[in-house]
Structure 1
């Protein structure tokens, strides 16, 4: 699984920093705003060949720093732009010989709009429009007639994690009224039907950060173990096993955020490699960890790392994108150091996550 955490990809005013990059779910392409100052343009990276390479996608006018980009599996790049305050326009960018082609898709009127991470199907792109009492989910690319409203969900939603390989099941972090934040599962083929996903305690804020459909591994953040203080934990989708909050993922003077999970570990969540971004006053670096281990291995990031972005190969190699003056489009490979398997997993528990309430298995069978 690949990812670039959306919550770290935007400034407080919603502007995407030019150093951020988003990678497709299959790891084939990536997209970012390149350039500097007032001369910003979309740039697409190809990652699945012998060597990575970048294709600039400039238009007649430079991109605004608030433009958000999302790569699709066919190599096109979705550009979402805010115009006239409440209006968000969408178009697809693609190379056409020496120039850049642009296909206009339409617009959505909303105070707030957030692009969701790339869909696993590689074709569709979705956006959240969160209001004080309800949140609307839009299909902004991949539909037949431009942007289409997919669902209206009670409460204010944020986040966005795909739970399957088809792009049907989506997890969102929802707050109802003034209550705690709880992750819920949304079935896009049932009109946005919502069911509980994470409920560690009644009062805790339980947010889902990442999910791996192959193994069922879930990475979450919750204040259940220490009210008022978020902890990074893990669980297994559909399992009655308790959530664990490993001490090794807690650093006193740094923030730890997962950004990629190793795919292909079918039914082996404890064996999945997890890549973590570590941010401190001195800068950002990389952590690597497996649920079966007792340590988080920390290593320096390559110069020019597009912090918070990377992808795992099924073989357990972590690939980090970077850009420097000498290498404007590069990938560095890292491997998780070997570690003896513990006799038993550390039993740090709060309460079982009622993940069996998620409709993932039944919904697939019904479809």
Structure 2
């Protein structure tokens, strides 16, 4: 599974996807082939596309006559084009596709989405199909989902979900099932599944206790592994836990993922571990006063390995290979486009049955999720 750089958490503890390009945001396609970020300095910002699936990574600048704003939305597609979203007149968001055409940059205008002043528009993480791109317009009481690339006639509304939503995690390999963290009125945040092929039909996905805030951070369709943040073990204090989609077992909150003076956020899961969630490698971004570094952990282990990140790491960005190698993008003055490889230190995994169960109320089983078929993609 690939993932993108995660910005600092919102005030309620929700991770913020890097859909506002900013300086540190780096987004990778679901298949790991391409990535995109804003490059440049000062006000001379431009889109830069990275190619990651060749013998060596390389970057292609995609500048236009007008520099990009710091808040430009970016999303790479699997065909090498980059979706760009720009805010106009305070409420309109225009979308285009950028692509290299020899020494120049081509631009295909797709259309615009209206977002009233009280609503916030963000891009969802790259779709697993690599073709479509979705935006989420978040209002006080309703969240609207838009297909902004991959449709036949420009941006089109595909779903309207009651409540204020955040997050965004794909649950399958086709780009049909989307998990969102939803708050209804003043109630707790609960992860729900949204079926984009059934008009945005909503199904409960995760509820550990009735009062707890339960968010889904990452999901791996091959193994069914879910990475969860919840305050169920200690109300008012979020903990990082894991569960399995469709399982009757409770969510577990390993003590090794809890650091006193640092924030721990998962950003990538090892793919290809079909029906073996305990064996999936999980990459974690660790942020503290001293800086950011990398954690590597598997549910079958009670230990999290903490490793130094490469110099210039685009913090929170990376992808696993199915063989278990973690690849981290970095940029320095000497190497403006680099990809470091980290291997997990050798360790005999402990049986997952030995992991202690948290002393909290038994959660509602995750089999409420609409996805129960986790056969490997063909």
TM range (shorter): over 0.9
**Distance in 1 of aligned mates of 2:241 and 2:374:** 26
Change (3 A) 1:135 1:148: same
Deviation at 1:13, TM superposition (A): 12
Alignment-derived partner of residue 302 in structure 2: 294
Alignment-derived partner of residue 220 in structure 1: 228
Deviation at 1:5, TM superposition (A): 4.8
Alignment of 1:35 with 2:40, yes or no, is yes
Q: After alignment, is 18-27 or 214-223 more displaced?
A: 18-27
Deviation at 1:338, TM superposition (A): 1.9
Q: Provide the secondary structure at the position in 1 that maps to 2:251.
A: strand
**Distance in 2 of aligned mates of 1:272 and 1:293:** 10
**Distance in 2 of aligned mates of 1:326 and 1:266:** 39
Alignment of 1:174 with 2:179, yes or no, is no
Alignment of 1:60 with 2:65, yes or no, is yes
> Is the CA contact 1:7–1:159 (under 8 Å) kept in the aligned structure 2?
no
Q: Provide the secondary structure at the position in 2 that maps to 1:239.
A: coil
**Distance in 2 of aligned mates of 1:361 and 1:12:** 27
Deviation at 1:68, TM superposition (A): 1.4
Q: Can you give the 5+ residue segments of structure 2 that lack an aligned partner in the other structure?
A: 11-15
Q: Provide the secondary structure at the position in 1 that maps to 2:256.
A: helix
Q: How does 1:102-113 map to 2 (within 5 A)?
A: 102-110=107-115, 111-113=119-121
> Is the CA contact 1:88–1:107 (under 8 Å) kept in the aligned structure 2?
yes
**Distance in 1 of aligned mates of 2:176 and 2:67:** 35
> Is the CA contact 1:241–1:353 (under 8 Å) kept in the aligned structure 2?
no
Match of 1:359 among 358, 363, 370: 370
Deviation at 1:359, TM superposition (A): 1.1
1:77-123: CA deviations, max 9, x gaps?
A: 00011111111110000000000000000111113101000000000
Match of 1:25 among 26, 30, 43: 30
Q: How does 1:143-292 map to 2 (within 5 A)?
A: 143-292=151-300
> Is the CA contact 1:6–1:116 (under 8 Å) kept in the aligned structure 2?
no
1:157-197: CA deviations, max 9, x gaps?
A: 01000000000000000000000000000001111000000
Change (3 A) 1:328 1:282: same
Q: How much is the aligned-residue C-alpha RMSD, in angstroms?
A: 1.8
Q: How does 1:288-327 map to 2 (within 5 A)?
A: 288-327=296-335
> Is the CA contact 1:8–1:308 (under 8 Å) kept in the aligned structure 2?
no
Alignment-derived partner of residue 354 in structure 2: 345
Q: After alignment, is 148-157 or 338-347 more displaced?
A: 338-347
Alignment-derived partner of residue 84 in structure 2: 79
Question: Taking structure 2 as the reference length, what is the TM-score of the superposition?
Answer: 0.93
1:110-143: CA deviations, max 9, x gaps?
A: 1310100000000000011011111000000000
Change (3 A) 1:241 1:258: same
> Is the CA contact 1:207–1:220 (under 8 Å) kept in the aligned structure 2?
yes
**Distance in 2 of aligned mates of 1:316 and 1:363:** 21
Q: Provide the secondary structure at the position in 1 that maps to 2:151.
A: coil
Q: Provide the secondary structure at the position in 2 that maps to 1:80.
A: strand
Q: Provide the secondary structure at the position in 2 that maps to 1:361.
A: coil
Alignment-derived partner of residue 2 in structure 1: 2
> Is the CA contact 1:271–1:292 (under 8 Å) kept in the aligned structure 2?
yes
Q: Can you give the 5+ residue segments of structure 1 that lack an aligned partner in the other structure?
A: none
1:254-281: CA deviations, max 9, x gaps?
A: 0000000000000000000000000001
